[in-house]
Amino acid sequence: MKRKIVFLTGAGISQESGIPTFRDSIDGLWENNKVEDVATVSGVFSDINRSETFFNSLKQKISECSPNAAHIAIADLAKDSENFEVIVLTQNVDDLHRRSGTPVEKTIELHGNIFRNRCRSHPDISGTDFKEARGCSYTGAHYDENWKFPQACPRCHKPATFSPDVVLFGEALDFSALSDAEYHASTADLFIQIGTSMEVFPVAALIESVPISKRAYIDIEKPEKNGIYEYEFIGKAAEITPKVCNMIKEQKL
Ligand code: NAD
């Protein structure tokens, strides 16, 4: 019988790839911008030039980062599809799970993907699968220096609607992505949370569908509450995750 291993990842898994976590960034600014100016719907659309500069600069920086040993260990475990069904639920928008080789159909990007664009006049049909983006979504190039923000949608032609497919503050998550994630969390044999403060809802609530006996935790900081994880691994994701994946392969976890 295949074991179903579900990973829920946050900004901490990409920290060793050189991408600051939300906590690292929040004490000040994102690329010299206030968070509310570049991460909320009203902020993003109130100053198109600022948003274009911000998103292009962020995309360029992220495109220069590579998946680290944690992303790669998860992708390797997913390759053993005879013994494991590996599902990655990620809050990250950095595309590093896909680039490390985790199959796109096994990855749910709950907060979107900065390298993909979405028509905001059709919020209900944002693609969650990088290759098979639906509706007005578009499978964009990794980093396109000629990319302009925001463009007219190539499908419905509404001007200024085609913008990065990231969930901004004030926007709802893709409903089908969230319900798929809930299904996978509730049917996991092992649910491993990596590098997330679990402060962003509704994703943080996913763990409620997992019995404590099936929960594992990887983070540089101890969990805030005691007794809510069966297994706790404190340390850097890129060091711990490969060890944890080996333990899973050796049936020690
Ligand atoms: P967060 O910043 O709130 O929490 C990061 C967590 O990772 C903390 O618990 C921290 O202790 C831990 N951590 C930091 N470095 C680590 C390391 N090397 N190894 C293991 N753990 C480490 O991040 P969050 O919970 O993901 O929420 C932030 C939100 O911001 C998310 O919704 C996400 O979409 C977005 N975000 C994404 C990225 C990205 O795509 N890489 C980066 C920053 C923020």
- Of the residues 111, 142, 157, 184, only one is catalytic, namely 111
Does the beta carbon of 56 lie inside 6 Å of ligand 1?
no
Predicted pLDDT of residue 138: 42
> Of 75-79, 108-112, 155-159, 231-235, where does mean pLDDT reach its minimum?
155-159
Model confidence at 28, pLDDT cuts 50, 70, 90, reads: very low
Question: Does 132 have pLDDT greater than 90?
Answer: no
> Of 48-57, 129-138, 166-175, where does mean pLDDT reach its minimum?
129-138
Instruction: Compute the radius of gyration of the chain from its Cα atoms.
Output: 18
Distance CA 5, CA 191 (A): 6
Q: Whose CA is nearest to atom 29 of ligand 1?
A: 22
Alpha helices in 101-236 (DSSP H): 175-186
Distance CA 244, CA 186 (A): 21
Whole-number average pLDDT of the chain: 85
CA of 20 to the centre of ligand 1 (A): 8
Parallel, antiparallel or unpaired: strands 190-194 and 3-9: parallel
- For helices 69-79 and 237-249, angle between their N-to-C axes, nearest 10 degrees: 20
Whole-prediction pTM: 0.91
Question: Does 245 have pLDDT greater than 60?
Answer: yes
Question: Does 36 have pLDDT greater than 50?
Answer: yes
Question: Does 135 have pLDDT greater than 50?
Answer: no
CA of 170 to the centre of ligand 1 (A): 19
Distance CA 25, CA 12 (A): 12
Which of 2, 17, 3, 1 is CA-nearest to residue 194?
17
Residue of 22, 168, 225 to mutate, ligand 1, most atoms within 8 A of C-beta: 22
Does the beta carbon of 196 lie inside 6 Å of ligand 1?
yes
In the chain, % helix, strand, coil (3-state, to 5) comes to 40, 20, 45
What residues have CB less than 8 Å from 149, skipping those under 6 apart? 48, 51, 52, 55, 56, 163, 164
Q: Tell me the pLDDT tens digit for each residue of 201-219.
A: 899 999 999 999 999 999 9
Q: What percent of the chain has pLDDT over 90?
A: 54
Contact 231, 211 (CB under 8 A): no
Q: Which residue has the higher pLDDT, 132 or 69?
A: 69
Q: Whose CA is nearest to atom 13 of ligand 1?
A: 12
Question: Does 136 have pLDDT greater than 60?
Answer: no
Distance CA 169, CA 201 (A): 11
Q: Which residue has the higher pLDDT, 224 or 28?
A: 224
Predicted pLDDT of residue 213: 98
Q: Tell me the average pLDDT across 124-145.
A: 42
Model confidence at 150, pLDDT cuts 50, 70, 90, reads: low
CA of 88 to the centre of ligand 1 (A): 15
**142: annotated active-site residue:** no
* Residue 169 per-residue DSSP state: B
Q: Tell me the average pLDDT across 224-244.
A: 97
Predicted pLDDT of residue 77: 98
Does the beta carbon of 199 lie inside 6 Å of ligand 1?
yes
Predicted pLDDT of residue 206: 97
What residues have CB less than 8 Å from 3, skipping those under 6 apart? 83, 84, 85, 189, 190, 248
Specify the residue for token string 């809930």. 182
Does the beta carbon of 200 lie inside 6 Å of ligand 1?
yes
Q: Report CA 184 to chain centroid distance, whole Å.
A: 15
- Residue by residue, DSSP assigns 228-248 as S-SEEEES-HHHHHHHHHHHH
Model confidence at 154, pLDDT cuts 50, 70, 90, reads: low
Contact 84, 248 (CB under 8 A): yes
CA of 82 to the centre of ligand 1 (A): 31
